[in-house]
Amino acid sequence: MIRSLFSALGILIRLLLALVLIAGLVLVAFVAYRGSQPMQLASANGMTYWQFMRDRIGAIRELPVKCQQMHFTSFAIAVPLYPALYTYIGIYPESYLAGHTQPDPSIPRDIGWTDAPDTWWRLVEDVSWEAWVTQHLPTVMPECNLKPPSLPGVSKP
């Protein structure tokens, strides 16, 4: 009796691990594919997300170390959190979390689960652009301002 219970539990754990692995691989493939497509932002001038990231990381490396830490830390916090939160709020606008989140124009309205991946990716692009292009402290810490993105060879649509 106990042996069959442990056997069933082992099978269940293996199945859950396999599902997590498959979901992770699908997510990696989705991000790799979408990152190689032109960004949906008009101000991105047709550059891909990976080109944008390469340009921004290069610009950050030219800044003082304290500024590098600030930019990388804010990006590491904002990009995983905000797109997932805003997508959830777009799917469930009447949820407790939606009622306790500050209004933001980036929060989508009336989306379903079928729209969630594209909405999430659009928000990843928006948050990335906001974090690494918009100057938040232009007078307080002027040495930490990033230069505007510039990629030679990117054609304007």
Rounded to an integer, what distance in angstroms lies between the CA atom of residue 57 and that of residue 71?
9
pLDDT band of residue 94 (cuts 50, 70, 90) is very high
Q: What is the pTM of this model?
A: 0.81
Q: Is residue 58 part of a domain?
A: yes
Say if residue 133 is in the same domain as residue 102.
yes
Say if residue 57 is in the same domain as residue 88.
yes
Domain count, the chain: 2
Say if residue 4 is in the same domain as residue 65.
no
Q: Which domain holds residue 30?
A: 1-35
Q: pLDDT tens digit string along 18-73?
A: 999 999 999 999 999 999 999 998 888 889 999 999 999 999 999 889 888 888 88
| Backbone torsion region of residue 149, taken as left when φ is above 0, otherwise alpha when ψ lies between -120 and 50, otherwise beta | beta
